[in-house]
Chain A
Amino acid sequence: RKEVEQDPGPFNVPEGATVAFNCTYSNSASQSFFWYRQDCRKEPKLLMSVYSSGNEDGRFTAQLNRASQYISLLIRDSKLSDSATYLCVVGHNDMRFGAGTRLTVKP
């Protein structure tokens, strides 16, 4: 079993749609949780951290459920510019990445 597992995707949605990504992790001792975004042929970049209380940044909302070892990312009112691969990241010092979920937002 992989340490971090994500929805395989790809997700193809129209502009304005709401889309949700899910991620599960196996190491219950994990202490840090993030969502990264990776554009084609670029390096991953931090989208947002995920806190136990949940957190929101504009159109993006992240949730953490430690009991179920599950994190999620919700994107509301999706834009063309949201098209990218979204990577779930879990760990503490050794950060483990999920395989990523490809999102394409279409006009």
Chain B
Amino acid sequence: DAGVIQSPRHEVTEMGQEVTLRCKPISGHDYLFWYRQTMMRGLELLIYFNNNVPIDDSGMPEDRFSAKMPNASFSTLKIQPSEPRDSAVYFCASKRASGGRFNEQFFGPGTRLTVL
């Protein structure tokens, strides 16, 4: 079975440019999460969706960040305009349902973003 798919795997861009990260969750999973990981701050939850609806976006750092989930098999995280401090690894994760052992999250390979 395919796991969580993210693209691109690496992105290098210049400050001020728009960046779009993409994620395809595991089929049948109801929840989708976007995380950002840096050495200084660790793994931070940015936003998560349940059945394509954003539930909690309190972790989104500022208005330059936006996320959408137009259908159950696709989500995007957009940064516009990008800044050097946005450089990080961005992970997408999905899980099947709420509660108990089904709360296991499966992570994609991540997108390594560098903003020059």
Contact = CB atoms under 8 A, between A and B. Distances in A.
A99 B42 contact: yes
B104 interface: yes
Interface residues of B, number: 22
Interface of A: 31-32, 34, 42-46, 49, 87, 89, 92-100
B25 interface: no
Contacts of B91: 43-44
B105 interface: yes
Contacts of B107: 43-45
A43 B90 CA distance: 10
B43 A100 contact: yes
A33 B105 CA distance: 12
Contact of B33 (A32, A42, A46, A95): A95
A32 B50 CA distance: 17
B105 A43 contact: no
Interface of B: 31, 33, 35, 42-43, 45, 48, 50, 55-56, 91, 98-101, 103-105, 107-110
Interface secondary structure of A, over-half rule: loop
B43 A44 contact: yes
Shortest Cβ-Cβ A-B pairs, 3 listed: A43-B107, A99-B42, A97-B43
A34 B43 contact: no
A15 to B, nearest CB: 27
8 contacts: A32-B100, A43-B91, A44-B43, A92-B103, A93-B48, A94-B48, A95-B103, A100-B42
A85 B91 CA distance: 16
